[in-house]
């Protein structure tokens, strides 16, 4: 049996496609349908490593969780990770093939289509329903001739399409009509329904507009999804979300750590990647998490985090221009704590080398000098899931973490220092990861996901409270687990869509 198809496309980027696909996946999964997500081509710096060691978009990993499945590379066969204003690393079936300009990749799309086609065919032979997510807008007519992710895909596989518009941006009716006007006739025939997303207020006020646009375009509205904001938690897909995330950049002189037991700042890099590493901290009682511009004051914060980066050397140069190395050293000297994850870990070392120009043309530059490390970029990318035991005397004992690594760099110690983790890969290979200095005040590692682990996160936050905030470990309340919060978010979104959408119509469109 070949799986049925249902596709969600949007009138633009950030209209809510990823979230609604996740919600529909969970809804169908709860009904007992064997459902899987699919996004032919994803452009994102938030990525995930599968059990097989393949790299896919983080959004598809979340959608897989919604389906009760382990993420697989067939769910996102083409991943594009921008590393400059004009170029990106192109990843096919989980492995990087080359850095390409937009023009070169446009010519490469026929090859990329082979990966898309084979992956979708395998999913259709395994599941009952595949829910496909488009990218950006199908009305990007300058890219139509080689499109493999929106209508170019839909027309090849004859997928029924729901077109999603974001009313919070304004002009939702114009965006729906305009999109339809720019499509070819065979493409318009595949648009089977409209969805209005992120609506605030009384839905009856929309009725005249829904009726008029539905009649004009000869496409029914299958629902209006209300704005759910922070009431329903889902990990964000990419760093663009940080621009409107509501995380403040504090430049004033704070009072008592902004009223929180712990104040944590994450430096917002130009090429920030995997910032969802820090989402678990967002939901901890008594913790305030802000994303900071490189020029923002560090006064009042207990912990500063340097996150991952798709272009570590270029981001490091920008931080040097903002005088952050000197200010971060002063922050540590004044008693603050610093953590670096992946690219941020590399930056905390003495020097970074990219003599083969793997990520940039910078050659060799100085790091922050807070950890005794030397990092050299290598052609082969490390992508692996792993588990580890925390071996630092500062945060143990008996703590374990699990996560994944994604990096081009190879990091070595230039002088003896304490490691953070003893890592064990799935194949049994063991090695040390990370470095700890200053009695625990400065540390970093390559593993993404260390803060997802309840035990380590609680232990480290307790350490920070005792050593930096002069608080007792028992002086804060326990919150629900991060994993449970994600599950609650997926179920809450499924419940919301069940009420907001005409699921009988959607079932019929999907052929269920």
Catalytic residues: 342, 448
Q: How far apart, in whole angstroms, are the C-alpha atoms of residue 351 and residue 342?
A: 15
Distance in angstroms (rounded) separating the CA atoms of residues 282 and 480: 12
- Return the HEC string of 424-491: EECCCCEEEECEEEHHHCEEEECCECHHHCHHHHHHHHHHHHHHCCCCCHHHCCCCCCHHHHHHHHHH
Distance CA 458, CA 474 (A): 11
SS3 state at 8: strand
C-beta of residue 437 within 8 angstroms of C-beta of residue 345: no
Phi and psi for 72 in degrees, rounded to 5? -135, 150
User: 3-class DSSP state for residue 110?
Assistant: helix
CA–CA gap between residue 348 and residue 365 (Å, rounded): 12
CA nearest 166: which of 193, 196, 139? 196
List the structure tokens of 428.
């049994």
**Strand (E) or helix (H) holding 35:** strand 35-38
C-alpha closest to that of 341 among 244, 427, 267? 267
Q: Are the C-beta atoms of residues 153 and 179 closer than 8 Å to each other?
A: no
Pair 23, 497: CB distance under 8 Å: yes
Pull the structure tokens for residue 454: 């309840």
Give Cα 306 distance to the centre of its chain: 16
**Helix residue spans in 255-323 (DSSP H):** 279-282, 312-321
Contact predicate 376/355, CB 8 Å: yes
Matching residue, tokens 């493409």? 187
Name, in order, each residue with C-beta under 8 angstroms of 180's C-beta and a sequence gap of 6 or more.
163, 188, 191, 217, 219
Number of CB atoms found within 10 A of residue 222's CB: 20
CB atoms within 10 A of CB 7: 27
């Amino acid at each position: 049996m070949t799986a049925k198809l249902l596709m969600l496309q949007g009138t633009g980027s950030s209209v809510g496609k990823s979230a609604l696909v996740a919600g529909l996946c969970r809804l169908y999964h709860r009904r007992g349908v064997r459902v899987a997500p699919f996004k032919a081509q994803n452009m994102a710096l938030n990525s995930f490593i599968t059990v097989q060691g393949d790299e896919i978009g983080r959004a598809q990993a979340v959608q897989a969780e919604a389906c009760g499945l382990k993420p697989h590379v067939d769910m996102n066969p083409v991943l594009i990770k921008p590393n400059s204003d004009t170029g990106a690393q192109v990843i096919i079936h989980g492995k990087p093939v080359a850095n390409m300009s937009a023009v070169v990749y446009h010519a490469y799309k026929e090859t990329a289509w082979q990966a898309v086609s084979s992956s979708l065919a395998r999913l259709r032979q395994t599941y009952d329903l595949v829910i496909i997510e488009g990218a950006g807008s199908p009305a990007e007519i300058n890219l139509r001739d080689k499109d493999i992710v929106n209508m170019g895909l839909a027309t090849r596989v004859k997928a029924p399409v729901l077109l999603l518009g974001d009313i919070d941006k304004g002009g939702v009716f114009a965006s729906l009509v305009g999109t339809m006007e720019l499509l070819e006739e065979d493409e318009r025939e595949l648009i089977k329904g409209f969805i209005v997303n992120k609506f605030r207020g009384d839905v009856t006020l929309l009725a005249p507009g829904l009726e008029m646009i539905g009649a004009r375009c000869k496409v029914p509205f299958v629902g209006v999804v209300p704005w759910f904001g922070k009431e329903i938690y889902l990990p964000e897909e990419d760093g663009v979300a940080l621009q409107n995330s509501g995380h403040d950049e504090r430049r004033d002189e704070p009072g008592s750590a902004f009223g929180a037991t712990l104040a944590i700042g994450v430096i917002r890099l130009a090429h920030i990647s995997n910032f969802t590493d820090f989402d678990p901290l967002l939901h901890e009682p008594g913790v305030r998490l802000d994303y900071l511009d490189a020029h923002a004051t560090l006064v009042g914060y207990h912990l500063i985090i340097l996150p991952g980066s798709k272009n570590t050397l270029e981001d490091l140069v920008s931080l040097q221009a903002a005088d952050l190395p000197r200010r971060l050293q002063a922050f540590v000297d004044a008693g603050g704590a610093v953590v670096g994850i992946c690219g941020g870990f590399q930056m905390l070392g003495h020097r970074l080398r990219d003599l083969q120009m793997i990520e940039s043309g910078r050659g060799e530059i100085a790091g922050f000098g807070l950890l005794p490390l030397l990092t050299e970029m290598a052609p082969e990318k490390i992508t692996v899931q792993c588990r580890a035991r925390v071996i630092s005397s500062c945060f143990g004992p008996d703590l374990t973490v699990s996560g994944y690594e994604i990096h081009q760099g190879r990091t070595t110690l230039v002088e003896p220092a304490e490691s953070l983790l003893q890592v064990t890969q799935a194949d049994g290979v063991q090695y040390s990861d990370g470095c700890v200095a200053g009695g625990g005040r400065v540390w970093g590692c390559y593993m993404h996901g260390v803060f997802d682990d309840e035990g380590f996160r609680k232990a480290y936050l307790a350490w920070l409270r005792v050593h930096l905030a002069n608080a007792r470990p028992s002086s804060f309340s326990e919150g629900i687990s991060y994993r449970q919060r994600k599950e609650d978010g997926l179920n809450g979104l499924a419940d919301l869509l069940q009420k907001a959408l005409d699921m009988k119509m959607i079932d019929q469109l999907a052929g269920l």
